[in-house]
Amino acid sequence: MKRVVVVGGGLAGLAAAYEAKRRGAAVTLLEKDRPGGKVRTIRDDGFVIETGPDAVVRYKPWALALARELGLEDEVVGTLPARPAAYIRVRGRNHPLPEGLNVVIPSRLGPLVRTSLFSPLGKLRAGLDLFLPRGPEGDEAFGAFIRRRLGREVWENLAAPLTGGIYGGDPENLSLLAAFPMLKELEKKHRSLILGSLAAMKKRRASREGGSLFASFEGGQARLVEALLDQLDGSLHAGERALAIEQEGSGWRVTGERGVYPAELLVLAVPAPAAAELLEPLGFPALAELRSIPYHSAATVTMAFDAAGFPERNGHGVLFARPEGFGARGFTWLDRKWAHRAPEGYALCRAYFSGEEAEQDEEELLKTALRDLRRLLGASVEPERVWIERFPRGMPAYTVGHLKRLAAIEAAEKGFAGLALVGAAYRGVGIPEVIRDGRRAVSEFLEEHPAS
């Protein structure tokens, strides 16, 4: 029987451990804190509070496919209907998100013409995309790409606020090829992003289930963690940090805080800086690349208010364009986005912070969240309950050059038999991608090295 040791019990590590178990391997999973990593659902007096991720996108199928395998299909929920679903605050006003966006690209001319997000000149500039020639091959900064194709207003008023939260920090220098490869592909294939998006959205609409773009579980994202743990009985060593790794024969020896664990396959499902620390004594040739993946901070402040007399809110939330001067990136109206997340009679609002603003301490975060919310709603609201979570340097950013760094890391990994680096640092930051990554690494190894 093959032995697999997984270090890191976020969703990448849990999915890797599950895949190994499913394929009949003996599994040990070391997690220094609690399983779930960035995923945390607090169930408290009828509140279901997500302090980290609150949704998976349906068109990346790996999380929901796993949920089905784990028997969670009856617990999958979509977002509550809302049209428009979200707003962006620009020039002191909330503007509805144009309908039919493909990631950040308007895929229909009607909503683009009608939207109040852009000035008439800004719309004309966006329309130039229909005529502009293709850009150069190769990687490009996301900000420069959107401005080149669609103009400055689309960047500042739509693309930047929509994507600012995904990788933390400033989306300007994200790698187009690593973070938004589908947009580069659209340009390559269709030349115009708008025309290409129209074709892509037609296909996607046909394949989308249930209408809602986002999905979660009745009991929150932690249901996925709990269902995975149910499959891993006895394999999880929670509260045990991996201290050192060594090669032993053709395999590995992992020293944890409470024991030593031999393995044929070692899966490092930890953030890149933690992987670099473990790999340094082995002379791993891509330590510099691992360490040069930038990490930004994120934080959330969730507040419950007495709904009686609470100002009216529309859609699932509002995002802020940077020049508006808010500290938070935006607010989600959780009670309007999901059913049954708060007891009757509560309004549930979550402020999302990323980059420098997320580095404030809890007291400052709450102050900023309340100041922003009061300014946004124009009312002096006071929360009855508050939940705050900080993710210091918790979000990897795929900046220009990420794919080169990744290629160097993958080449170095190949020099160490039975080593796999998986998780949000590498091939996608969302829950679906890290699940796919963890499972892929384990299946590849066990298919190449079947138990003898």
Ligand X SMILES: Cc1cc2nc3c(=O)[nH]c(=O)nc-3n(C[C@H](O)[C@H](O)[C@H](O)COP(=O)(O)OP(=O)(O)OC[C@H]3O[C@@H](n4cnc5c(N)ncnc54)[C@H](O)[C@@H]3O)c2cc1C
Which residues of the chain form contacts with ligand X (CB under 6 A)?
Answer: 7-13, 30-33, 37-39, 52-56, 241-242, 269-271, 274, 298, 300, 391, 394-395, 423-424, 429-431, 434
Nearer to ligand X, 159 or 421 (CB): 421
Residue 96's H or E segment, with its range, is: strand 93-96
Structure tokens at 30: 């070391």
Cβ atoms of 72 and 224 within 8 Å: the answer is yes
3-state secondary structure 49-87: EECCCCCEECCCCHHHHHHHHCCCHHHEEECCCCCCCEE
CB of 137 to ligand X, least distance (A): 29
Nearer to ligand X, 98 or 165 (CB): 165
Nearer to ligand X, 260 or 307 (CB): 260
CB of 31 to ligand X, least distance (A): 5
| CA angle at 315 for the pair 359 and 428, rounded to the nearest 5° | 50
Cβ atoms of 6 and 29 within 8 Å: the answer is yes
The one-letter code for the residue type at 181 is P
Largest distance between two CA atoms of the chain? 69
Nearer to ligand X, 348 or 431 (CB): 431
Nearest to 12 by CA among 438, 377, 448: 438
CB of 396 to ligand X, least distance (A): 8
3-state secondary structure 336-379: HHCCCCCCCCEEEEEEEEEHHHHHCCHHHHHHHHHHHHHHHHCC
DSSP-based three-state secondary structure for 276? helix
Nearest to 395 by CA among 370, 361, 430, 368: 430
Nearer to ligand X, 30 or 67 (CB): 30
Nearer to ligand X, 228 or 434 (CB): 434
CB of 121 to ligand X, least distance (A): 34
DSSP 147-195: HHHH-HHHIIIIIHHHHTTTSSS-GGGBBHHHH-HHHHHHHHHHSSHHH
Nearer to ligand X, 148 or 393 (CB): 393
Nearer to ligand X, 62 or 118 (CB): 62
The one-letter code for the residue type at 280 is E
Nearer to ligand X, 104 or 269 (CB): 269
Partnered with residue 262 across adjacent β-strands are 253
CB of 16 to ligand X, least distance (A): 9
Cβ atoms of 418 and 445 within 8 Å: the answer is yes
DSSP 216-239: EETT-THHHHHHHHHHTTTTEEET
Nearer to ligand X, 145 or 261 (CB): 261
